[in-house]
Amino acid sequence: MQTAHAHSGRWAIQGGRGSFHHLAAMQLGLRGEEDLIPCSDFYSLAHLVGTEDEVQGVMAIENSVAGSLLRNYELLRTFPLRIAAEIYLRIEQHLLVNPGSSLEALREVHSHPMALAQCGIFLRKHKHIKLVETEDTAMSAEALAANPKPERAVIASKLAASLFGLETCRSHIEDHRQNYTRFLLLQKGEMHGHAAKASLALLLPHQPGALQRVLEAAATVSLNLTKIQSVPLVGNPWHYRFYIDVERVDGLDEQWLLALFHAHCEEIEVLGIYAPGEIFEEN
């Protein structure tokens, strides 16, 4: 899928080739691996997009099982970045091995801690397999392909298996089939004009009824509040910034949103205006 707001140029992702960020980038418009820029962490990704021309980024923001990635919300404001699009990707985990290996031969499984946690039911059934935490699912797959070991497996995507020539020993070993991660397409520059969904960051007065007044303002104009997330303010204990997502059938634009909420906020930023995302599956 080529989104209306993806531009030509390079794509920064967290993790390596074959990661779920890579898969999300492909769905958002990445055409070739030569345009991919793997980043070791989310800060590096956000910094690259915020400082380099012709670089856009794909960053996970929340998971339907594990919840929100709070630090990533703050990265949107730090650089600053705007949200140009979103997608929801179903996270499908697979046990990958070198060709010819088998489940019975395995003694270790390597993967990112989150991937290992998402496959706990399957792994507890095979207690003879030692769990080894690594930096990234796809990098684990690449390492196994470069240094074949019949006693070792990795947990990663089918894209990683295809890229690195690994076999799928067991498919869909995740605990929850309804496990989705929301990914944002991030760019720098001016906001796009008019779309059905928007993300905002609000700093509210520390007084009774402050959040209620924001919600009432949204209700009066038929805004559908699809997400609200509080993030602690560093250096100001027990004070929070609120990140909200809203949708409106008639569409939204930046100035209209600022006018709607301005009177109720100490600070307000529109982080992006974009079309509501689609759901994708790897298969």
First to last CA, the chain: 15
Q: How many CA atoms lie within 13 A of 71 on its CB side?
A: 6
Alpha-carbon distance 170 to 155, whole Å? 10
Selection from 184, 214, 189, 201 nearest residue 274 by Cα: 184
The model's pLDDT over 37-60, given as tens digits with 9 standing for 90+, comes to: 999 999 999 999 999 989 999 999
Q: Which residues of 175-203 are buried (b: 16+ CB within 10 A; e: fewer)?
A: eeeebbbbbbbbbbeebbeebbbbbbbbb
Q: Rounded distance, CA 196 to CA 236, Å?
A: 34
pLDDT band (50, 70, 90) for residue 192: low
User: Which residue matches tokens 């004009």?
Assistant: 193
DSSP state of 233: P
pLDDT on residue 235: 86
Q: Which residues pair with 88 in a beta bridge?
A: 182, 279
Mean pLDDT, the chain, integer? 93
The confidence score (pLDDT) of residue 68 equals 92
What is the rounded CA–CA span in Å between residue 108 and residue 233? 41
C-beta of residue 233 within 8 angstroms of C-beta of residue 223? no
Looking at residues 144-154, what average pLDDT do you find?
97
DSSP 184: E
**What pLDDT, on a 0 to 100 scale, did the predictor assign at position 52?**
93
Phi, psi of 184, deg, nearest 5 = -110, 140
Q: Is 18 left (phi over 0), alpha (psi -120 to 50) or beta?
A: left
In order of their start, the domains of the chain are 10-91+179-191 (3.40.190.10), 94-170 (3.40.190.10), 195-274 (3.30.70.260)
Radius of gyration of the chain (CA): 21
**pLDDT band at residue 5, thresholds of 50, 70 and 90?**
low
Q: Which of 161, 151, 154, 166 has its CA nearest to residue 104?
A: 151
C-beta separation of 260 from 233 below 8 A:
no
For residues 82 and 271, the answer to whether their CB atoms sit within 8 Å is yes
Residue 283 Cα distances to 89, 171, 219, angstroms? 11, 11, 39
Percent of the chain at pLDDT exceeding 70: 96
